Structure 1
Amino acid sequence: MDVTEVLLPGVGLRYEFTNHRGDRIGVVARRTGDFEVVVYGADDPDEGRSVFELNDEEADAVAEILGAPRIAERFADLTKEVPGLASGQVEVRAGSAYDGRPLGDTRARTRTGASVVAVVRGEEVIASPTPRTVLRGGDVLVVIGTHEGIAGVEQIIRG
């Protein structure tokens, strides 16, 4: 199956594919963490009809059910398409100041401008973590931002 990715500047990414029944399906992954699933009509292939929308928490649940590891890969691909945008990984070490504390306590985005878009915990991927997501030693944060912003997140997490 071919999945087409379309960068939507200022919005996020749109993924499109044709399912086994011949329906054109689109998933809009907004930068806000929200997602919208649309179906394109056969009579007008440019007009998408919204099927449902998910907030970041709901999208996390669906992503875990459907295979969240692909989301982190796609965010990494996004950085190749946008000049000045990079992705990085920051490990939360056991016993660090943020081991056992919510992501929001780091104030990483406010302090660095970089965003934590996923938390990899063993085989599990928490896509679009909320500020309430509790970090654990061994977690790997997937960070999107400038190189300086990613380095800033690493400094915050490592103390």
Structure 2
Amino acid sequence: MRIEKIDLPGVGIRHDMVTKHGRHVGVLNYRDGRRELALYDPEDPDTVLDFIELDDDESDALSDLLGHTALLSQITDFGSGALGLYTDQLVLPTDSRYLDLTLGDTQARTKTGVSIVAILRGDKVIPSPEAAEILRQDDIFVAVGTRAGLDKLEALLAHTAV
């Protein structure tokens, strides 16, 4: 699964997610505080089938239902691919061979050239995680690198336990 941040100048921020089944879902956070969920057409990921507007209470409730209330502030300028760099949020798969091992065991930076700048764990943010950080189920990695490097990191994390 990949979550991609897209800055919408003058409008807000959109986060797009592609599920493991190939469905595209978006969350739009407008500058005026409004939030919408977008459900994309499975046949054409550029076409939105429906928008669902959420008020603050609905947004909080949905977040709680989904089990995630982590809030991450923006990493400025990189998310949109400035200078060929991107930020991504990558979920550690539940069957990853790196589950319960350390971040250093992944050799992520050496193998992909990508920097993991934070780990989101439940409602906790671990900034600048150390190599000795134990990786847990449902950890979300905030990573910075080239598109090719981020793709390599996603593949690396997806390797399953033997």
Note the 1:3-152 alignment, pairs <5 A: 72-75=72-75, 77-79=76-78, 80=80, 82-152=82-152
AA in 2 matched with 1:90: L
Q: Which has the higher helix share?
A: 1
- Aligned residue pairs, count: 89
Q: TM-score, normalised by structure 1?
A: 0.52
Secondary structure in 1 aligned to 2:149? helix
Secondary structure in 1 aligned to 2:134? coil
**TM-superposition CA deviations, 1:96-143 (whole Å, max 9, x none):** 201101000110101111110000001100000011111101000011
Structure having the higher Rg: 1
Aligned to 1:153: 153
Structure 2: 5+ residue stretches without partners: 1-69
Secondary structure in 2 aligned to 1:74? coil
AA in 2 matched with 1:106: T
- The structural deviation recorded for 1:89 is 1.2
AA in 2 matched with 1:151: D
AA in 1 matched with 2:158: R
Identical-pair percentage: 35
AA in 2 matched with 1:78: D
- The structural deviation recorded for 1:82 is 3.5
For residues 77 and 107 of structure 2, what CA distance do their matches in structure 1 show?
A: 23
RMSD: 1.7
Q: TM-score, normalised by structure 2?
A: 0.51
